[in-house]
Amino acid sequence: MIHRAAYYSVRLLLFEFDVLPMIRDVLVPMDDSEMSKRALRYALEVFEDADITVVHVAYLDIQNSSYFNLTGTTPEEINQEAREYADSIFSSAKSISNEYNADIETEFLTGNVSNTIVSYAEEQEVDQIVVGTHGREAASRILLGSVAEKVARRSHAPTTIVR
């Protein structure tokens, strides 16, 4: 019995130290919420040696011509407005990263938000995703869905949800 207990304790120690992955590339999806800013701060603190990419995904329904007919807005104008909005988010993200003396990359993407984040993470082979959540109650999450929850369930990369 003593030998068996010693074997398990040694095996447990090896497991704890040998399996820790090296995190090199971290993806932080952002909007203008305080929760996404917290997620970026978390990523900068915890993964200080990693390359961090901040993405903003805009869902642009440019196929909906009735919207454009009613508003008189062109798809190009909508895309430009979305890009300007993303630039303001990236400016905020860079201000936060400057507090940590860290450099970040930024990327503007369009599409279904959760699907686009997951696809981008797979294409870029990120090691970790850090995403903020609005902390909705369970009933609201079930009815509306949560981008953070969808990303965590669908992504190949480990996902940390920051509240």
Domains and CATH numbers, the chain: 21-162 (3.40.50.620)
Task: In whole angstroms, give the CA distance from residue 155 to residue 158.
Answer: 7
User: Is pLDDT above 80 for 149?
Assistant: yes
Whole-prediction pTM value? 0.80
- The more confidently predicted of residues 75 and 124 is 124
The per-type count for the chain, helices as H runs and strands as E runs, is 7, 5
Q: How many CA atoms lie within 13 A of 15 on its CB side?
A: 6
Which residues are CB-contacts of 34 (< 8 A; sequence separation ≥ 6)? 132
Can you tell me the distance from the alpha carbon of 3 to that of 47, in angstroms, rounded to the nearest whole number?
39
Q: What is the pLDDT of residue 2?
A: 44
Burial 62-93 (b: 16+ CB within 10 A, else e): eeeeeebeeeeeeeeebeeebeeebeebbebb
Confidence of residue 10 (pLDDT cuts 50, 70, 90): very low
Per-residue confidence (pLDDT) for residue 60, from 0 to 100: 79
Name the percent of the chain lying above pLDDT 90.
63
